[in-house]
A and B are shown apart, each in its own frame.
Chain A
Amino acid sequence: MRALTWQGTQDVQVDTVADPEIINPRDAIIKVTSTAICGSDLHLYDGVIPMVKPGDILGHEFMGEVVETGASSTLQKGQRVVVPFTISCGGCFHCKISQFSACENSNPVEKQDASEMLYGHPMGGIFGYSHLTGGYSGGQAEYVRVPFSDVGPLAVPDHLDDDQVLFLSDILPTGWMAAENAEIQPDDTVAVWGCGPVGLFAVQSALAMGAARVIAIDHYPHRLALARMLGAETVDFRHSNVREALLEMSGGIGVDAVIDAVGMEAHGFAIDNMIDVAKQKVGVGADRASALKQAILAVRPGGRVSIPGVYGGMTDKFPLGALMEKGLQIRTGQTHVQRYLHDLLAKIEEGAIDTTFLISHRLPLEEAAYGYKSFKEEQNNWIKVVLKPGMDASGAASRA
C-alpha cells in the first residue's frame, strides 16, 4: 500500500510499504477514505517530539471502511467508521473511569519503558505518533491496523459525508474537552491562544457551553477571521500587548479561563521563547511555552487554565509563583476521545456543530508531503488539510 512516512526533520514522503494484517483477535483493518494532517503532526515534522523513527507512518486523524475483522472484533465488513486517535482497551482502570487516553494496555509493553522513565507512568497508545506512544502505524495510508476495534471506532451514518465526521477522530473532541476543562460558567470570559483547528473548535465549544465572551489570540489574519466568524473577539499579538488587552477587555478582573491551544512550538518575540527556539534546534528539548506562560499571567486569580496544546518535555522559567499565588487550576491531557464521540456525533447530526468550514485543502494521499510543507509554511491560508487516498492525483481540483 501507499503511506506517508517520516524520514527525518521536515522530510516526509509517500512510499510503498507492506499492507497491515490482523494480528490480535480484537483487531480490524480499515481502508482509509479520509485522513487529516494535525497540528501535532507538525511537531513530528519539525522533529521536536522524541522517538520518531525513519519509515514511521504518520497520521492519527482518519476514517474509512472496515475491510477485515479479527475473531473478537465487533465491527462488520463494509461499515463506515471514524477512528479515535487514542487507542484504548476498554477494560483497564483508566478506561473504566473514562480516562481513555491513559489506557494502561494499549501501549505495547516493550514501548512503555521510555515514557514511564520520562513521565513516571507509561503513556497510552496513539496512532502514527511517536514510539513513546507505541509506534503504531498511522492513518495517512491506504490501510490501517486498528487494535481494540470493539472499543474505539465509531460507526457513522451514511447521510453524513466524510468531511462532516472526520474530525471526531481528534480535533473536535479535543477542542470540546479543552472547553470542558476550562469549566465555563455563564458569565465567563474565556481567552483562547492559537486559532488553529483545535483553538477554533475550542472557541466554538466554549460559546456552545455558554461563555459570555470568547477572546481568540493569534497573528494570522485569516485564522483570526475564522475565529470572528465563529463569534469570538480577537487580539492579534503582533499588533497589541496581549496581557494588557485582556486585562482591559475584562474590566480589570482578568479573564476567567484560558485555553492554550498552541503547545510546544509557540511563536512569539519574548526573549525566553527565542532561547527556547535555540534549545529546540540544538536538541536540548526545552518546550517553547510562551503562550502558556502568557496565559497563566493573564488569567484572573482563582481562574482555570486548560491546556490542549501538546508538550513533550521540560520548560524553563515557568511562572510557578503566579500559578500558586493566584490559586489557579490546571487541567490538561491527551483527549479522552471515546468519552465524547456519541454526544458530538449527535450534535453534528442535529446541525448544532459544523466542522467543514475548517477544511482549506483536500489533496490526494500522494501529495501529502506537499501538504505538510504548505501547512507548515503557509499557516495563514492552510488551515486544515484533508488527504484522500482515493482521490485522483491529477484531479486535485479543490487545491486552493
Chain B
Amino acid sequence: MHRQSRRSWPKLAALGIGLVAIPAVAFGVASSRRRADIRSDNAPGFTARRSFGSFDVVGRSVTIRKPRDELFRFWRDFSNLPEFMENLDKVVPDDTESGRNTWFIRAPAGKTFAVETRVVREIDNELIAWRSTPESEIETEGRVTFEDAPGERGTRVGLIIAYKPVGGVAGKMLAKLLRRSPELQARHDLKRFKMLLETGEISTSARCRTDHGATQQASSHTDRNEEQA
C-alpha cells in the first residue's frame, strides 16, 4: 500500500499546472523521476537538507491510535479541518463541483482571505491531495496520507504542504503568515488533529475559560518568539 501510493505520485505531478519537479521531490516521488544526487536514502523528502526553490515545503507525521478509515473520513470532510487548524477560519465546499473548496485563512490584523482548492487525487482510506486552482491567488498544494502503523499502534498520518507565495496583497500576507514558522504551524495542527481524534478534545492548561482564549493568543506569540530565535 505504501509502495502503491508512492507510485501514484508521478501521475499527480503530470497533472501539474505550475508545479515543477521541486515539490514533487519533497513529496517523495518514485524512482523513475528521482535524481540520484537528491534521493540517496529512505528519509522523507521534506527532511532533506536542501531548499525547494521558490516553494516552501513542510511536512510532519504523527501516529494516531485510531483506525485508518475513521481518520480518513474525518479529514475528507474538509469542513472539519478548522477544528484543529489554528489559522483556518472555515472551509466552504463548492456545491457545483465535488472536491472543490474555499479555505478562509485568518491573517494578522483580523483579516481573512480565501484560497480555492480542488482535490486532485484521492485513494480511499489512503491519501487525499489537493491543489489550489489556477484562479487562486495563492499557489499551494497539500497531501495527507494514512497508513496502518505496526501492530496496534493505529494509523500513521503524514501531512505535507507546499506553497509558492505569489504577488498581490493576499499572497504577501500568506507568505508572512506561513513563513512566520510553517514547520511549527504544520506540527501544531497535526498534533491537534491527533489530540482531537485520540482524546475527543484539545488539551489546554488554562485554569479558567477567560484564560483559555489568552492561551491561544499566547500560542501565536510563541510563534513569533521562535522566529526571532
Spell out A's residues near B (CB within 8 Å). Answer: 17-21, 23-26, 57, 72, 89-93, 96, 104-113, 125, 134-137, 145, 147-148
Contact = CB atoms under 8 A, between A and B. Distances in A.
Q: For chain A, what secondary structure do more than half of its interface residues adopt (helix, strand, loop), or is it mixed?
A: loop
B204 A23 contact: yes
Contacts of B187: 113
Given A92-B65, A93-B63, A110-B188, A26 B207 contact: no
B203 A105 contact: yes
Contacts of B222: 110, 113
A109 B218 CA distance: 12
A330 B188 CA distance: 33
B199 A148 contact: yes
Interface stretch (B72-80, B94-102, B157-165, B190-198): B190-198
A280 to B, nearest CB: 23
A206 B40 CA distance: 51
Contacts of B211: 18
Given A91-B65, A108-B215, A109-B195, A125 B205 contact: yes
Given A110-B215, A136-B205, 18 more contacts: A17-B207, A18-B208, A21-B207, A23-B204, A23-B208, A26-B199, A89-B195, A89-B198, A92-B194, A93-B65, A105-B203, A108-B202, A108-B215, A111-B205, A113-B184, A113-B187, A134-B203, A148-B199
A161 B30 CA distance: 65
Given A93-B65, A105-B199, A134-B205, A113 B226 contact: yes
Contacts, number: 91
A105 B215 contact: no
Contact of B207 (A20, A24, A92): A20
B212 interface: yes
Interface of B: 63, 65, 152-154, 184, 187-188, 191-192, 194-195, 198-212, 215-216, 218-219, 222, 226
24 contacts: A20-B208, A24-B201, A24-B202, A24-B203, A26-B200, A26-B201, A89-B203, A92-B65, A92-B194, A92-B199, A93-B63, A96-B65, A105-B198, A109-B191, A109-B192, A110-B219, A110-B222, A111-B205, A112-B191, A125-B203, A136-B205, A137-B207, A145-B207, A147-B204
Contacts of B63: 93
A328 B2 CA distance: 40
**In this complex, which of A18, A109, A145 has the most chain B Cβ atoms within 10 angstroms of its Cβ?**
A109
A107 B205 CA distance: 8
B200 A109 contact: no
Contacts of B198: 89, 91-92, 104-105
